Structure 1
Amino acid sequence: MHAWPASEVPALPGQGRDLRIHDTATGGPVTLTPGPVARLYVCGITPYDATHMGHAATYNAFDLVQRVWLDTKRQVHYVQNVTDVDDPLLERARRDAIDWVGLAERETSLFREDMTALRMLPPRHYIGAVEAIPGIVPLVERLRDLGAAYELDGDVYFSVESDPHFGSVSRLDAAAMRLLSAERGGDPDRPGKKNPLDPMLWLAARDGEPSWDGASLGPGRPGWHIECVAIALDHLGMGFDVQGGGSDLAFPHHEMGASHAQVLTGEFPMARAYVHAGMVALDGEKMSKSKGNLVFVSRLRRDGVDPAAIRLALLAHHYRSDWEWTDQVLQDAVDRLGRWRAAVSRPDGPAADKLVEEIRDALAEDLDAPAALAAVDRWAALQEERGGTDTGAPGLVSRAVDALLGVAL
């Protein structure tokens, strides 16, 4: 599966700082010091309705991670999956009486277009669950051979008790885990499971649903968590720098995935930091497909909204915060974009070297994009009030905003 084209990242004078970011697993900040190649895995979409603002906010956060690393003169090995077969996708296809493959392809294509418009840097590897199945089956078989998996009526489950580190990502107690498991795709009440929290590794073939050859597992399809484990281990290996996604993925998805990988390899941890973006609400409720309260990037674009303004609306909120999308949020971003473009359109302006360092410092401190935006606002206000004599300043500001914030002026 192919990703989307990369926008050029302008080179800036000097060098950025190492990223200090909030790690869910420790509950506090960690300073990331990758080697020459920083490794990032971000969980992708289930393509039955893409791309709403919650998606966009999440991928914007991890686009900033990439840009901070690139500014430190590192390369970035970024991997993202597409869950192109799963219950929600199949349910939507049945509801709409359309082919599930065509639905997945259509929504994945739309997602690529949105990511391109928003200038999100693409992953090096963009892998669908279906194409990963040949690598998933041996992992499930290995977990079974290790005694970490068991069969129940033809389905194969992972035993969470096989991982002594289970629970170390989300740091939740068993009661909270059980509630979230029921809400987020698990089946804690299924009779016969060794532990209510045990997640599905391989779903035996059901009538009317797609299935694949599972070798000794029998025909079926993979569970949700093992999909990302297979892709991450294949392309990044253990101990990669950041596992990322929305805050609703900390449990069960990232918790379960970490346990799968740790039992498979005997190594800990799967990722050096688990980083999670906040949720976006609309009309007082979390924006989600199940609720249908979605604002789509593609619809805003069709309505003539500049993608740069959409990106500025996202950047105006700290990536870990929960916030609400409103018409005013978008209007503020449109106004800000207009002020910035007017400021850099002049032939000279106030010196901007300090501004570049302010943006770098803000982003290096837990991706504080609102502080970075405020710094650019101050420069633009000075430009409007009294201008300046530095002929290189407008160009430098434009390049810095593009390179570090992904906003083309």
Structure 2
Amino acid sequence: MKSAPPLPSAPKYPDFVYPAAVSTAATQAAAVDLGWRYLQNDDLRSAEREFAAALRAVPDLVPARTGEGYVALARQDNARALDQFELALRGAPAYAPALVGKGQALLAMNRDGDARAAFEAALEADPTLTNLSSRIDVLEFREIQNLIAAARQAGSAGRLEEARAAYQRAIAATPDSAVLYRELGMVDRRLGDPAGALEQFNRAVALDPADAIALAQTGEILEERGDFAGAETAYRNAHTADPFAGYDRKAEAVAAKGRDARLPEEFRALASAERVTRGDLAALIGIRLEDVLRSAPSTPVVTTDTGGHWAAPWIAQVVATGVMPPFDNHTFQPGAALRRVDLAEAVGALLKLMARTNPALQARISARPAVADMSPSHLNYPAVAVAVSAGVLPLLDGRFDTERPVSGADALAAIDRLRALQPSR
């Protein structure tokens, strides 16, 4: 028998696993061993000759077939290597050297998932191959990163179903990632599945209670559903997690929506009303400028026509503070249509109340602007001048149009301008 070359101190292919010839005739075992020695000395032709000789003698010799696979792998003929390892595994499905070789061939072919499966099978077949564990971990991590990258790329390109599927596969591989649940939830929202999105955001928050983005997304979904209390809680939790993202403003806004939702239907319809009444304005002032009325001197006044009116509580407030006094006959006439001059009278009274503790505002409302359709001697000029000077009720081409009806949008805009003048806002 030809003498075998010695194994080099540094094998050429240290990651190849020796195909031990168990229960094989001594001649074939020697041929496999000789072929392996040639292989590790990088004499691929001699190695192939020895493995082929063993296969001619025993065509289904698994170690020799595995050796041929490693020779092909050394030549970077990955397809042939894979074929040889597959042939070996037909005869011995749990043969660890062939499973390792198969994994290496698949890895060279960029089939990371299949390679990982082959390495896992090899480790199960031979637990002493502990070096495979780190390779499996690296491949698993790389596979997850590839899935995440594919999911994000698909999402950016608008291929949302593809993105959803990729995120689901990534989560199956790493179920403890709050970020993945959150990003899947955002894809679900774009797909028009708020219930599915909410489930994913809840899972994200369960894993990471400080995930401000998931909390804010939860708030948005709950807000869309009309669950303003739940949305406010979610936004406030998001603000706690990230105090600099403006979630506190969202919490305040949704809290206001919640308060509005509990108000009478008549109030909620004001924004779209073509014309508003004195009672409507009283409610707007009482609700939106409650703090101004609360700080004003107040004297209870009896009105004879507001009992049972939906805005009665707020009418009582604006009457008591003098913001909207009753008529001489003690009626308030809550159903009377509101004119621009009526709005000016109420706005002027509110501005004077606000100016008591605001010198800058006091100076501003002391101006006497020219009004094309109203002389300074007009009964309503003082209130109009105050409202115009403060920028709450602007002139229309130099005119005030005292008799012009006030819409819901007009009234709300005036109230919002008043709120903007408050120092605390």
TM-score class normalised by the smaller sequence = under 0.3
**TM-score of the superposed pair, with normalisation by structure 1:** 0.25
Q: Larger Rg: 1 or 2?
A: 2
**TM-score of the superposed pair, with normalisation by structure 2:** 0.24
Structure with greater strand share of residues:
1
Structure with greater helix share of residues:
2
